Each structure stands twice: as structure tokens, then as C-alpha cells.
Structure 1
């Protein structure tokens, strides 16, 4: 299992909306995440900076990267683009973090 950490940026004042949308995540989005090898996925919010920290475990990096090409992923990105920083293709602006310590 590969552990990944990323940071993203939420627009100010959209904390509740971000949480609401994720509490009602579409079942087909969850199915796609599992299909592409995602497990143990959590997102945390730093309210002071509106920074989101995502943690996910994946089976395979190449397989995971292909999830971005799915119709449901693109639909989710379009759904979220109004409340967070995004790239021109509507994917979240994200920074991959380097793991420097892990303990079971």
C-alpha cells in the first residue's frame, strides 16, 4: 500500500459547504475511488489557513493516476470548482507531500 499526502486550498467561507458536499459524496464517486485502488481516505481542514490536508492509501500509482480520466472524477471536479482553488481542467490545485516519518 502506498501512502499519499496532499494539500489543497479552500476558498474562504466555504468550510461548511465543503464538508456538506463530502458528507453527501455520490456513491458512484466512492465506487470509482475503490475501483482505482483508494483506501483509508481522509481530508482534514486547517480553519486558520483554509488549507486542506488529504491522506489516502493507494494500491498502485499508475492505476490511481488514471482515475483522473474518469467521467465521474471530472464531474466531481466541476462540482467542487466553485469552492476551492482549481487548475484550468478544474482539478484541485494540490501539492504532493513527501513522507518523512511513518509509524504503525
Structure 2
């Protein structure tokens, strides 16, 4: 199991909509995430700044990297693009965090 964490940014006037869309995550998106080795996926919000902290456990980097090219992921990114900082391909602007401590 590989633990991954990253930081993204949601627009401050979109907090409720961001949460709503994740509360209503498309079933096919959940299936595809799991098929690409994701588990224990969490996203936390720092309300003062709009920073999102994402944590996911994956089976392999290669399998996880393939998720971005799936139709459902591309559709999700386009759906979420109005709510957050994104790249030209609609993927979230995301900074991967370095693992510095873990207590099992």
C-alpha cells in the first residue's frame, strides 16, 4: 500500500457545492477509483484559505496514474472545474506532499 497526500484549492464561494458534489459522488466514479487501486480516500477543507488536503491509499503508482485518462475521470474534472483551481486540461491544480511521518 502506498499513501499519497496532496493539496488543492477550492474557491471560497464554492465550499458547499464542492462538498455536495462529493457527497453525491457518481457511483461509476467510485467504481473506477477502486478499480485503479484507490482506498481510504479522504479530502479535508481548511475553510480560512480554501485549501483542500487529499489523502488516498493506492496499490501502485502505475495503476493510479492510469485513472487520469479514463472517461469518467475526464468527465469529473470538467464537472468540478468551475469550483476549483484547475489546469488547462481541467485537472485540479495539485501539489503532492512529501511523507515525513507515519504512526501505524
- TM-score normalised to the size of structure 1? 0.99
How many corresponding residue pairs?
104
Task: Specify every segment of 5 or more residues in structure 2 that has no aligned partner in the other structure, as ranges.
Answer: none
Q: Runs of at least 4 residues of structure 1 off by over 6 A?
A: none
String of CA shifts for 1:4-63, please: whole Å, max 9, x gaps. 000000012111000000000000000000000000000000000000000000000011
SS at the partner of 1:82? helix
Taking only aligned residues, the RMSD between alpha carbons, in angstroms, comes to 0.4
What residue in structure 2 maps to residue 74 of structure 1? Answer: 74
Question: Which residue of the partner structure matches residue 11 of structure 1?
Answer: 11
- State whether structure 2 residue 4 is matched by structure 1 residue 26: no
Q: Match for residue 99 of structure 1? A: 99
- Which sections of structure 1, spanning at least 5 residues, go unmatched? none
Give the structure 2 partner of residue 64 of structure 1.
64
1:95 Cα shift? 0.1
> Which one has a larger percent helix, Structure 1 or Structure 2?
2
